[in-house]
Structure 1
Amino acid sequence: MFKNTSKPPTHSYHHPLPDNIEYRSSTYKVVSGNMSWYDAMHMCTENESELVSITDAYHQAFLTVLVNRLDAPHWIGLYSQDSGINYKWSDGSDTVYTHWDAFDEDDDDFVTGECVFMDVNGGWRRADCETPLTGALCHIPLRSSKPFVLHETSCPSTWVKFGRGCYNFEPVVEKLTFQESRIHCKQKVNTSDVLTIESETENRFVLEQLLSSGFLHRTIWLGMYFNVDTDSMAWVDGSPTDYTNWAGKGPDTKLLTADTCVTTRLVDGVWHLSTCGEQLGFICKTISDVTTEVEVEPLNGLHHGVIPAAVVVAVLIFALLAGAMWFLYRRNPARFRGFPSLGSAYYRQTNSQSTESDGNVLITDLEAHSGFGRPKQIKKCIVYSFICIK
């Protein structure tokens, strides 16, 4: 469907690809089979890798050759959460570098696509996240070679990572009220809460996970409730409510009460109002970019206070030496006339005769080094005050 047949690839693989493909300290994997973008993400995860992010022209060129030889478009880790306005990498990499296909802007089939693939010519193109492609590009995250780590960022064990979020699908089989569900999530991870959904892409990800697990006919809690203080629907984590998926128009807030919560049906992902006292399953969610400090040993066994103390001592010694020099200079300036940094041209004099003498010396020095005679009018500059007089 997406294959560019106008220019067939000049090479093809006659032998199976190796499990790991190395290039410039990066390790890539290629996974194959009809798959949506969500399938691709999970296949990469099963292979202990992530959907590839491309952040510079060197790796773009390498992957262009690879996909061209594979002779088929492959999913990459770029996706949108705001209907194609902005795109981000699924592993959180920066999005400064891009390589969009020139034809992408002119192809109506992909303009609203929220997921991105690399075509056989290397260009990035958009498509619906459910579109089946024949493969995906994965990369194995670099492991730090440093003997110590200052911060760690990851999802808890058994949680699934998607974008910045971590999701726990185990409580789908529970039967708890809305408030009990929130307590249950916080007991698992104190920063988690009942599922919030901020985009269509995230909504599809959740449905894909649940449908593949056979939970087709279940209804689960969403982390949305009616806030009586603001007379509006609100997410439990304070996220903006820009994205919604109601069956029809949004609910009339004039008819809602403090016992109004929101559920979603897995068969279609549509949102419905429910009383908060019902007992349903749910999903827990937390944000994965919360960093945790890891205590490390000081380098070479030194106490962490040694270096700051040494700096303080050095500053004190320098200050004492400077004070001593200043004191000696004030006592006997004649001894320091040989030092240019303390010469009369840079030290403020209070005697007017000395000032005039300094000005003449500077003018004489200028004449000697410039090769020009004294002009008819010249300004004598008093150095210490930066004021020039005729």
Structure 2
Amino acid sequence: MWFTVGGTVLSIQDEMENVFVWEHLQAYEGLSKGAWLGMTFNPKGGTLVWHDNTAVNYSNWGQHDTGPSMLSQNSCYWIQSSNGVWRLGSCTNVTMGVICKIPRVEESSFSRAALPENTTAIAVVVLSTLALCAVLGVVIFLYKRRQSAERGAFESARYSRTTANPSESAEKNILVSDMEMNEQQD
């Protein structure tokens, strides 16, 4: 058995998978003649098995490679990049590439696991932004209110001063608004 980090050497379960692998191997035909298949000969049953000891139920052997006398424990098997046909070969052949196969991760289980974390993070960001905007709005409102209170109702009022004593001056100090002054000038 050949294992790699998180995967195993190529196994092909049906014709669709064989065509898929073959189509991708054609892109590398100049670099290698094919790719090793992760199968071995089981002498007890006289059959070929994949790396996980499941029977090889699909095959795409060339015309001369199908005889049982050709199979042995010392044989290695590969898929040709030129035509997708399986062949027997020397296990020391260095012109073959290796394709590793990893188990498929179901997207739905991955999405469901990631969704609550993402939703929570998005909700926290949105709520924090809204809270910050609300606080900023209250600060602006209070600032403008304070400015208008400092100006007060006497913003345009005018004072008249006299040099008389304080009690007389209190009586003589008159608030005159701009409007009253405009009426007197007319």
Normalization by structure 2: what TM-score?
0.49
Higher strand share: 1
State which structure, 1 or 2, has the greater radius of gyration over its C-alpha atoms: 2
Bigger relative contact order, structure 1 or 2 (CA pairs below 8 A, ≥6 apart): 2
Higher helix share: 2
Normalization by structure 1: what TM-score?
0.25
